[in-house]
Structure 1
Amino acid sequence: MKGLFGRKQKTAEAQEAVERQYAEDYWAWTAATEELPARRAAQDAAHNEAERRREEQLAVETAKYETECAAREAEAKEQNEALDQLIAGLGYGTADAVKEYVEIVLANSVYPEDFPVTHSSVFEPSTSELFVSVRIPGPETVPTIKQYRYVKANDEITPTAATQKDAKDRYATIVNNVALRTIHEVFEADRRGLIRSISLELGTETISPATGQPLYVPFVAVAANREQFSGLDLRAVVPAATLAHLGAAVSKNPQGLVPIASGGIRRGNE
C-alpha cells in the first residue's frame, strides 16, 4: 500500500509540475504576444527613423554632388571658352594670345625643385618679336661639392669642395644653357611661326652688398631670329660659343654677380 501511495504522490507531483510549467509558458507566451504590437511598432519607428536619416543624408550628398558637377561643368566651360579665345587669338597673332601661349609653354619647362626658373614675356605684333625676361636663382643655390669619396681609415664618406674655377664655370654653364633652352622651347612650340625673333634677357635677383637693397643683375642679353636659330644643331654646340655666335652680351663672371656690359648686342634679326 505504501508503495502505491508513493507512486500516486509522485505522479501527482509530476502532473502539478507539468501544469505549473504549462501555466508559466502560457502566461509567458501571452505576455510576449501582447508585447508584439508594441515591439513591431518600435521596430517600425526605428526603421522609419533610419530611413528618414538615410533619405536626408542622400539628399545632402546628392545636392553636394550636383553642386560639384555644376562647378566642374562651369569650370570646364570657362576653360573651353578661354581655349577657344586663345586659339582664335593665335590665329590672328594677337599680342595677348601669343603672350599667354608662351607663358603656358615656359610654365611647363621643368627645372629642379631647388632651382626655380621664372619667365615673363611681351609680344610685339608689328615686328613679330617676343621679349622674354628670365629669372634664375643666384649662384649660392648651386652645389659647391665636386665629389664625394670614401675614407677607409675613418669609415666615412667625405665631400671634396669644387675649386673656385669649377664653381665659376658650373654657374656660367647653367646661365648659358637656360638662355639657349628658353629660346629653343619658344621657337619649337611656335609651330605657326608667329614669332619671328626673340630678344631675351636673363639674370638673377639678389641683395646689394653695398646698399642692402634688392638688386637685379643681368647675366645674358641676346637676340635671335627664327631662321638664324633654326640653323643651330643644339645637340652639338658649346653654349658659350653659341651665345657669342648670336652676338649676345654675356657676364664675364655670373658666379661673382658681375653684370653684362651695356650695349654691344647684335640683334638676331639683323
Structure 2
Amino acid sequence: MKVDDRIDWEKLFDKKPFKDYIPFLKPELKEFEKNVPKANVLEVISFFKNKRIKAEREAKEAYQKALKTWEEKEKSNLSQYSKDKEKYLNDQASHNNKLKLAKQSYENGEKQGVVNYLNLVLERSKYPSSLSLFPEVKYEENAKILLVDMELPVADSFIPTIEFKYNATTQQIVDRKMNKKEFDDFYNNILFQITLRTIHEIFESDYNNTVNGVVFNGWIDRINPKVGKEVRNCIISLQVSKAEFNEIHLDKIDPRECFRHLKGITAGSLINLSPVKPIMMLDTKDNRFIKAAEMLGGFDNNTNLASMEWQDFEVLIRDLIQKEFSHEGCKVEVTRASRDAGVDAIAFDEDPIRGGKYVVQAKRYNNLVPLSAVRDLYGTVHNEGAVKGILVTTSYFGGDALEFVKDKPLALINGEQLLYMFNKHGYKMKIELTKKQRAASTISY
C-alpha cells in the first residue's frame, strides 16, 4: 500500500551523458632516450662519441615510429568514439522520443496509449520470483473499462512449509507444513490478494483518469487429469468501478470477504480450479486480422515450399491452418503478412474444456531452426494470452528445441509433418532444401 504505482516518466527518460573520451597514452621522446649514453670525456675517442650519436639516432627513429603508430591508432580510436557517441545519442533521442509519445498518447486517452501505460504498470509490479504472472490488457475507450486477463500461479508454485526448527535430540532441521485446509485457505487468499492488488495498481496509477472500471479475469493453465489434455480455465472474475473500489481501505480488509462484497465470481474454493464464465472476454477482433486469401488451389505439385517467397509461404500456411482448425468448429483469423507481433494466424476454440487461443508462426527455413525462434514463440504465447503456440517450418528442429518444448504449450511442425498435413487435405507439395543441407533433403508427398 505504501508503493506509488504511478509511472514516473522522468525517471524513464535517459539523460545519462555518453562516456568521456580517453585517448591512448602518447609516447614521449625521453622514454626512448633512457638508455642513450651521456656525453663525457671519453668522447675524445671517436668510438664512444659515434656510439652515443648512433644511440641517439636510433632512439629518435624508434620514437618517430611509435609516434606515427600512436597517431594512427588515436585517429582510428577517435573516429570510432565519434561513431559510438553519435549512435548512443541517436538511440537515446529515439528512446526519449518514444517515451514522450507514449506519455502523450496515454494522457490524450488514446486506446493504445492507455493499454501500453497500464501494461507497463503491471509489468513493473514486484512479486516473489517464484510467481510468474502474465497479464494481458484491453481497453474499451467508450465505456472506459479496462479488461485484464491474468495467468495465475498454480498451487504447486507454493511451498506449504510454515517454519523450520532445529531438533536438538536428532540434531536435524525439521519443517512444519500446513495441513490441507490451511494450505487451501492460504492459496485462496493469495489469489484474492493478487486480484485486488492488480485492480488497486491500475486505479492508483491512472493519474489521467482514463479508467472508470476494471474487469479482472484470472486464468489457470493445467493438464486435465480426466483426458490428459492441457486446458486453460478462468477460475476467478471480478468487475468493479473506480468509485466503488476507492471506498475500500485495502490495508484493513479480509481479501476473501472484500472479493465477495464486490460480487466477484468463483466456483467454490479456488484450489479446485473450477472454471467460471468470465464477466467479460477479450474481443477476438484484432487489427492484424485480414480475410484469408485462398492460395492452396493456386499451386501445383512442383511447388517447392522451401524456395517460395516468405510472404506467399506465410499466407499458404495460414490457409492450411484454417482448414486444419475449422473442421473442429474453431474460428480462425489470419494476420497481415508483415511479420507483425510474431503471429501469422490465430485460432479461437470456444470449447469450455480444451478451448482458448492458439497462435501460429510460419518459418520458411532451409536449415536447422534456431532455438531462439522457439523461445520467441514461447514469449509470443504469453504476450498473446494464448493456450498454445504452433511453429511451422519447411526444415527441421534440433534436439535443444525439442527438449525446450517438452513441458511447454508449444507444438513444432517440421517439413515432413507439414507435407503430411497438406497431403491430408488433398494438396501435394514438396520441399527441396538447399545443397548445403544434409543428404536426403528432398521430401514430398
Same fold at TM > 0.5: yes
Map of 1:216 onto structure 2: 232
Task: State the alpha-carbon separation in 2 of the partners of residues 213 and 189 from structure 1.
Answer: 39
Pairing of 1:90-239 with structure 2 (within 5 A): 90-239=106-255
| 1: CA distance, partners of 2:224 / 2:79 | 57
Deviation at 1:249, TM superposition (A): 0.8
Distance 1:222 1:33 in 2: 99
**How many residue pairs are counted as aligned between the two chains?**
240
Distance in 2, matches of 1:199 and 1:87, equals 24
Match of 1:6 in 2: none
1:66 aligns with 2:82: yes
Is the contact between residue 151 and residue 158 of structure 1 (CA under 8 Å) also seen in structure 2? yes
The SS at the match of 1:191 is coil
Of the structure 1 ranges 250-259 and 75-84, higher mean CA displacement relative to structure 2 is found in 250-259
Q: TM-score, normalised by structure 1?
A: 0.81
Shift of 1:188: 0.2
- Is the partner of 1:250 in helix, strand or coil? coil
Give the match's secondary structure for 1:105: helix
Deviation at 1:28?
9.2
- What runs of 5+ residues in structure 2 fail to find an aligned partner? 1-40, 281-445
- Displacement of 1:44: 1.7
Q: State how 1:43-82 maps to structure 2 within 5 Å.
A: 43-82=59-98
Against the structure 1 CA distance between its residues 211 and 56, is the aligned structure 2 distance closer, same or farther, given a 3 Å change threshold?
A: farther
Instruction: Describe the SS at the equivalent of 1:116.
Output: coil
1:107-139 CA distances to partner (integer Å, 9 max, x unpaired)? 110011111222110111111111111122211
| Secondary structure of residue in 1 paired with 2:50 | helix
Structure 2 CA distance for partners of 1:128 and 1:35, relative to 1, 3 Å: same
Deviations 1:22-57 (A, max 9, x none): xxx958952231123332222122212222332333
What percent identity do the matched residue pairs reach? Answer: 19
TM-score w.r.t. length of structure 2: 0.51
Choose from 262, 266, 290 the match for 1:250.
Answer: 266
Select between 74-83 and 27-36 the one with higher mean Cα deviation.
Answer: 27-36
| Counterpart Cα distance in 2 of 1:257 and 1:70 | 55
Contact in 1 for aligned 2:213/2:241 (Cα 8 Å): yes
**What is residue 262 of structure 1 aligned with on the other side?**
277
Match of 1:32 in 2: 48
More helix by share: 1
Give, in whole Å, the separation in 2 of the partners of 1:251 and 1:43: 90
Name the SS of the counterpart of 2:215 in structure 1: strand
- For the pair shown, the structure with the greater C-alpha radius of gyration is 1
- Residue pair 1:175, 1:219 contacting (<8 A) in 2 also: no
Aligned residue identity for 2:139: F
Q: Which stretches of structure 1, 4 residues or longer, exceed 6 Å deviation after superposition?
A: none
Change (3 A) 1:232 1:60: same
**In 1, Cα distance between the equivalents of 2:153 and 2:100?**
35
CA distance in 2, matches of 1:239, 1:134: 18
Kindly tell me: are residues 37 and 164 of structure 1, through their superposed partners in 2, closer, same or farther at Cα, counting changes over 3 Å? same
Shift of 1:172: 0.9
* Deviation at residue 61 of structure 1 after TM alignment: 3.0
Structure possessing the higher relative contact order (Cα contacts under 8 Å, 6 or more residues apart): 1
